[in-house]
Amino acid sequence: MTDLSWRFISLGGFVLIALLAWLTGGRGTPGWRTVRGSVLLAWGLGGLIFMFPGSRSVLEWVNNALLALIVASQKGAQFLFGPLALGPGQTLPDGTASVGFVLAFQVLPSVIFFSALVSALYYLNIMPRIVNFLAKGFYRFMRISGAEALSAGASIFVGIESGIAIRPFLEKMTRSELLTLLTCMMATVAGTVMGIYVLALKDAVPNIAGHLVSASLISIPCAVLIAKLYLPEDSVPETLGKVPDSTEDKTQANVVSALLEGGSQGVSMSLGIASALIIVLGLSAVADLVFGFFSANLSLAKVLGWLAWPFVVLMGLRPEEWEMGAQILGTRLIETEVVSYFQLAAMQTGETPVFSSRSAIILSYALCGFVHIASFGIFVGGLSALVPERIKDFSELGLKGLWTAFLATLATGCIAGVFV
């Protein structure tokens, strides 16, 4: 089969994934203006990113800028941890060599740095202006409520914090709005942790930083499409027809206190990521022991890979790539996207890459989301803490949001498969 044939498979996969969202949901009548707008925006962004003559230069610029920030973020870690913070092959000025790859000392410190940087950008009103700009664009294209548009815009840069931006409206938001909120949160990745994925894939996928930013952008209209097909709006949202202002009252005295507060939040995030990895990888090993009683070749990753197999086919990967692609996709649900990205990097940097460059890009787009059990707990628990009155709704919609976010990231992978 030619590349064109695989692109048509990716296109058909997008349609089937959207249909699956409707079939597994309430099968109600969706707002066709929202469906049409989200489809046009998703494919328009995909075409702009992959086909616009200057898009490659923009991707390279974004990639180089993020890599430069990551290098800067490693300076403090190297000062504190010495050779433990050096990547493989790196050396300190005194000639001390790296001891190899250590995630806790080489990757997690970047979360602290980026969290502080984002906090400072919010204090300086730079980030709120960007979020408001994106929110107004999402509202005009997709005709979603203002609260949905604002949380969608914020989800590109932050995680659970995007719920804080619309806290005054959470109590009265409709169930369809809440599902859209959860789907957007889980179908994107926060800028504060994007450095982890860039560090994992910078040697495996060219311009990976630019691609990850693009994936988060495309995933927003995909998330809106899937959520509205799964649970169409049947009420009148409070913020229909207007976009609230995302600017919040500043609690920090100055930009230095904003940096320190953001850094403290980054420490908490790093500990949360580390504890989640320890827990889920440990539980995964326990599950493998249980599966081992039935067959020595059976594991949790293989079972999840079998379940993910049809979706890998729909995204347009080649037959020889289906097994490993499905395993990576299935692993994310339990072991987080961090583990999946490092698995993808290991497969691509070996003597013989497992995936073609096209398939590696498709997977990097499809994996770009907090679609795993740990994030389900974080987002449902965090939002329930903001509005305890809606605990029942969040607990009922949580697993549905995990499913719709999974489909949304696959739809994003299909769009990449058509254009790459």
Q: Is the pLDDT of residue 247 over 60?
A: no
Sequence-separated (6 or more) residues with CB below 8 Å from residue 25? 229, 230, 231, 400
Q: Where are the alpha helices (DSSP H) in 171-207?
A: 175-187, 194-201
Write the pLDDT tens digit of every residue in 46-100: 999 898 877 778 877 877 887 788 788 888 888 888 888 887 667 888 888 887 7
What does the pLDDT average to over 310-315?
96
Among residues of the chain, what percentage have pLDDT more than 70? 95
Q: Which stretch of 93-97, 146-150, 242-246 has the lowest confidence by average pLDDT?
A: 242-246
Top-confidence residue, 212 or 156:
212
Distance, in Å, from the CA atom of 276 to the CA atom of 316, rounded to the nearest integer, reads 31
Q: Is the pLDDT of residue 136 over 90?
A: no
- pLDDT in the model for residue 201: 92
Q: Is the pLDDT of residue 276 over 70?
A: yes
Residue indicated by tokens 């190899």 = 100
Amino acid in the structure at residue 237 = P
Q: What letters, b where the CB count within 10 A reaches 16 and e where it falls short, cover 130-154?
A: bbbebbebbbebbbbbbbbbbbbbb
- pLDDT in the model for residue 321: 96
- pLDDT in the model for residue 160: 67
- pLDDT in the model for residue 99: 78
User: Residue 241 phi/psi, 5° resolution?
Assistant: 95, 0
- pLDDT in the model for residue 248: 56
Write the pLDDT tens digit of every residue in 391-413: 899 889 999 999 999 999 999 99
Amino acid in the structure at residue 229 = L
Distance, in Å, from the CA atom of 109 to the CA atom of 111, rounded to the nearest integer, reads 5
User: In this structure, what token pair is assigned to residue 114?
Assistant: 């980026």
- pLDDT in the model for residue 163: 75
Q: Would you place residue 292 in the very low, low, confident or very high pLDDT band (cuts 50, 70, 90)?
A: confident
Domain layout of the chain by residue ranges: 3-419
Among residues of the chain, what percentage have pLDDT more than 90? 39
User: In this structure, what token pair is assigned to residue 82?
Assistant: 């010495």
What does the pLDDT average to over 205-220?
91
Highest mean pLDDT among 146-150, 234-238, 281-285, 363-367: 363-367
The pLDDT mean for the chain works out to 87
User: Residue 182 phi/psi, 5° resolution?
Assistant: -65, -40
Contacts for 45-50: CB closer than 8 Å, 24+ residues apart: 45/214, 45/217, 45/218, 45/221, 46/218, 46/415, 46/416, 46/418, 46/419, 47/419, 49/214, 49/217, 49/218, 49/419, 50/416, 50/419, 50/420
Residue indicated by tokens 């990757």 = 107
What does the pLDDT average to over 165-182?
88
Sequence-separated (6 or more) residues with CB below 8 Å from residue 287? 299, 300
Q: Where are the alpha helices (DSSP H) in 293-389?
A: 300-315, 322-348, 357-366, 373-386
Residue indicated by tokens 């197999």 = 309
Write the pLDDT tens digit of every residue in 251-270: 777 899 989 988 888 888 78
